[in-house]
Amino acid sequence: MFLRTHIYHKYLFIGLLCFLYCSTANAQLLYEISGNGARQKSYLLATNRLVPMQFLDTIPNVFKCFGKCNKVITEFAMQDYEAIAALRKAALLPDSVKLTNFYSESDYEYIDNTLRINLGLGLDKLCRMKPSYLTEMFRTELMKQWLHYDEQSSMESFFESVAAERDIPVIGLDNIGETMYMLFDREPFHWQCQELLKVIQYPENEVKQERTLKAMYLDGRLTDMAYQVEGPDNTTSISFSDYKVYCSRNEQWVKRLRPYLTEGGAFITLNAIYLGGEKGLLEQLRKAGYRVRPANRRKLEIKSTNQ
């Protein structure tokens, strides 16, 4: 009886170690990039704007890897204040376009009332803004109200801010024109109008999907995040047409990353939604010849003993 119980506990312990190893192996957010002529290793961190910067303390080696790097690469360099000013200007509608022409009177009034309640501003103040901008403003407010999003404490821009303080170069993968297109013009105007109305009518869908993606992120399930968007039941704020644009952009990003990866010492921070899956940036880097593997991988050694 004692021997049987001892054996049971032994295999239970081994099974638990295997489970912990598999969980660690699958929950990866920090990657090491080497090979393909790179003179020094670079690192890629998956981020999520809803996650506070304190979460970085739970990612093994992230600060150690950052300390080895001499440049930060991100989607768009938010420290470029002239570019930010240009983006604000690009968010404005042309004088010839009026939002009232794209909504019924009742829908326009409904949008106006909802924005007043949630943003403190109505369409009398915001009617000059493009619908895609208003949609993002409303989504952001939803995340603040329901998912405790705080822009000031978000992990997303942490390393970019630290780099700016230390005079470390911050490099954007997209130029200002490409960023304007991605934010304001990748969808036809009438689609933008319908998207704004849909988000305002069904805010609970936005919150549910963002909560789901955040949970996947915290588990390091980057592939699941990609499939959440790719799948036929996708109800995220990212449409499949958007995802196809992201996939095409990933291929372009690999080309733009090449000189920085060859030099090495790059710390890359990008939204996790771009990284996983067959067409994600991680797989595209591997196809380009780079060795991409978890930077916080661990080896478990189980020593057998004679009992």
What is the rounded CA–CA span in Å between residue 209 and residue 88? 27
User: Which residue in 221, 202, 194, 234 sits closest to 102, CA to CA?
Assistant: 194
pLDDT of residue 27: 62
Query: Residue 278 falls within a domain, yes or no?
Result: yes
User: Which residue in 139, 155, 136, 159 sits closest to 147, CA to CA?
Assistant: 139
DSSP string, 159-182: HHHHHHHTT--EEESS-HHHHHII
Do 56 and 155 contact (CB within 8 A), yes or no? yes
Per-residue pLDDT tens digits for 25-64: 446 999 999 999 999 999 999 999 999 999 999 999 999 9
Neighbours of 302 (CB within 10 A): 10
Query: Residue 60 falls within a domain, yes or no?
Result: yes
303 pLDDT above the threshold of 70: no
Query: Residue 2 falls within a domain, yes or no?
Result: no
Do 225 and 272 contact (CB within 8 A), yes or no? yes
How far does the chain reach from its first CA to its final CA, in angstroms? 15
Query: Residue 110 falls within a domain, yes or no?
Result: no
Per-residue pLDDT tens digits for 126-176: 999 999 999 999 999 999 999 999 999 999 999 999 999 999 999 999 988
pLDDT of residue 38: 97
pLDDT of residue 49: 95
Query: Residue 9 falls within a domain, yes or no?
Result: no
What is the rounded CA–CA span in Å between residue 170 and residue 80? 9
Query: Residue 256 falls within a domain, yes or no?
Result: yes
What is the rounded CA–CA span in Å between residue 284 and residue 44? 13
Residue 235 in tokens: 């109800």
pLDDT of residue 9: 47
What is the rounded CA–CA span in Å between residue 118 and residue 138? 8
* CATH code at position 256: 3.40.50
Provide the percentage of residues in the chain whose pLDDT is more than 90: 66
Neighbours of 210 (CB within 10 A): 21
Query: Residue 207 falls within a domain, yes or no?
Result: yes
**Domain interval for residue 259:** 29-91+135-179+203-294
Query: Residue 284 falls within a domain, yes or no?
Result: yes
Buried b (16+ CB within 10 A) or exposed e, 76-114: bbbbeeebeeebeebbebeeeeebeebbeeebbeebbeb
Residue 118 in tokens: 């949630």
The total number of structural domains in the chain stands at 1
Q: If you average pLDDT over residues 218-224, what whole number do you get?
A: 92
Dmax (CA) of the chain: 86
